[in-house]
Chains A and B, each alone.
Chain A
Amino acid sequence: MAGHEPKLDTFPKYLLLNAERFGALPAMRHKDFGIWQSWSWKEQLEEVRALSIGLETLGVAHGERVAVVGANRPRLYWTIAALQCLGAVPVPVYADAVAEELAYVLDHAGVKFAVVQDQEQVDKILSFSEKIPNLGMIIYDEERGLGDYDHSRLISYANVQEAGRRQMEADRSAAARWEQNIRDASGDDISIMLYTSGTTGRSKGVVIGAAAAVQAAVDTAKFDHLNEHDSVLAYLPLAWVGDHYLNYAQGYVSGFCVNCPEGPETVTQDLREIGPTFYFAPPRVFEGLLTMVTIRMEDAGRIKKWLYNKYIGVARKYGEAILEGRPVPLSGRISYALGELFVYGPLKNTLGLSKVRVAYTAGEAIGEDLFSFFRSLGINLKQLYGQTEAFLYVTCQEDGAVRADAVGPAAPNVDVRISEDGEVQFKSPGMFSGYYLDDAKTAETMTEDGYVKTGDAGFFDKDGQLRIIDRAKDVGRLNTGALFSPKYVENVLKFFPNIKEAVAFGHDRDFCAVFINIDLTAVGNWAERNNISYASYQELASHPRVYEMIAAHVDDTNLKLSKEPMMAGAQIKRFLVLHKELDADDGELTRTQKVRRGFIGDRYGELIDALYDGSTEKYVETEVTYEDGRKGKLRATVKIADAKVYDVAAEPMREAAE
């Protein structure tokens, strides 16, 4: 970075600065037509300027809210910047949201303009246009299929940019005036409005101020020493705070290059080609990688298998110590170096993680084994804890002080405290200024002295790292009085590769019982190796041998729970394997793949009753939504199994019951 830290308070100001200081360095890449197309900071400025002035001629003004819907494409990132340049407010919306959800957000935000990726999004918006009375113009990027549409309310992205270029030619001072407006802009402007994914009910519009957003990004970019030579792969949903923060906000303040994949299916290949230096993935991605590696190694030849097992053993022994600079005997270092040559290097290369300098994971708890597997390969994987309301970072781990079961101390300039009833609360530079048009909810979320309530229950452990137990409102008690944290139980279960999702019940009930979703990749592979034939997910899920396997996992889980004094009372007594995969289209998961426990409780009420009334099987009919929006019914007889509960020493039991 430049010698002195520039003090700027909006992202457009950084856009101008970066075009000056990093002019020829790449700012954006996109794989299109099989080739990585790239744009330098200077070229990016030109793209944004043309679009921004074009949008101005359409009537986009200061304070106007504009929806941005689509995948990670340079043009949509430029749209966000172009809007911010005018002082307008970008409102990114999840591209896979169904038409109704999309319409709700567009209407709630009162958008007059929407910039969308393709025909699919245009169709979704048009199908609900009467519910979005304010919406005037829709600007689309990909023209395909839209040729015959009525263009009275449609205009292509290219035409808007063209209008901007013509305007600049017609009026020589337009560009200079546009730049001056950016320089004069205030940090009090709204930078962006991010709609939460709606874990609990309707999504809310989180308003983030410009100066706050910039300050937060500057702090964390400095924390991880991000600079203009770093690069990231932008593959997370555009509308999610994580993508906006990690890629856009940090990219603008530190000047690194954002790479957009060709499409969602090519992310793995694109990752390998780009080799990012800064990488973020939720735990389930790492889980998926490890599952894939394990499955492939099981099919490998004897020599390769031997090499892999030997050197992964070496990595487990010394890898993390070497990464953290702790003392390691010379023989250990030599073995590790050989391992790097034979196994870790090629493996990281295949995964696209060879150049990673800093990697984060967040969103869910990550298993100890999984976490240390990647760290032992020499990947600096750390955890952070964040929220949309904080503009991401609340806590994050420092290099060298990393653990799987905690999420680190407070991030720079963030103040975190635990309320009396155990809830995590924070105050941070990037924190939101309120929910859009919802003062009641805003007031509910803030404390009187200006802290934000996260709704998560947690505590600081002895070395000052925060540990999150569960959503505060989900932590309950069994009728026996024992503490019951559904997420805690679910997480222990989910660390088994064969279990994809679990939903635990127990609050105000006699014992803890769970729904389990098997992982089709892992269990399918196991079935193949064991000559078990199946025609569908449903059939595999109800197979007796799958039940046996899951029963063994539940047994291990209970053993583990019995050793934790706080959780021992809530061991699993009964479980069932669900006949369908939990799916966001059916409302069972949020768009960020989190379980919506309340909804599942209502939807599968019969099955829950069956868990507690002692029956051994239950016939259910479940309505499902197919990808094209049609509905169908799934019929199944679900078996319910009992699990063994381990004895707990009397002492901790009493403690837990207090």
Chain B
Amino acid sequence: MTVGTLPIWSKTFSYAIRSLCLLHIVHMYAYEFTETRGESMLPTLSATNDYVHVLKNFQNGKGIKMGDCIVALKPTDPNHRICKRITGMPGDLVLVDPSTVVNYVGGVLIDEERFGTYIKVPEGHVWVTGDNLSHSLDSRTYNALPMGLIMGKIVAANNFDSPFWDGSKHRFWGFKRINNTFVDANANSN
């Protein structure tokens, strides 16, 4: 083998490259631990210092369900990532949020009857909203999200503002699971 005769720096460099690439592959396909910021998911995830555990086998929307928390590329800016909850699956009818519709353009009323308008989520898309509806930029602004932009599903979160070990709650760094919050009203009534 020639590797044994190479200088030590090149060996170190080669090990570094291989381990970084392995880490990258794990981050791409299996699991990622990453920071989230922003107020849009507020009761679920805090605005600062929250780190989430993301499973990447849900990439491209494979196997996601209504009510799951997902990480996706922002449709209007692929350099940013968003963290939202799925509130509509392909084919679902979604009520257009009547409180945020801009009815006036240049002082002229363009649309009077917006209450009770529905959008059908197209094939291959999902409807996403933040948990903090009043402070979230989501499908109500940029329309349904193509599933191809979904990067993974959030299963748990840590908060590094919490103490390392919270004895009363038996948790490390505010560890909590992020569960599916969807309650199927039709299933309950039957």
Chain A complexes with chain B: no
Which A positions have Cβ atoms within 8 angstroms of B? none
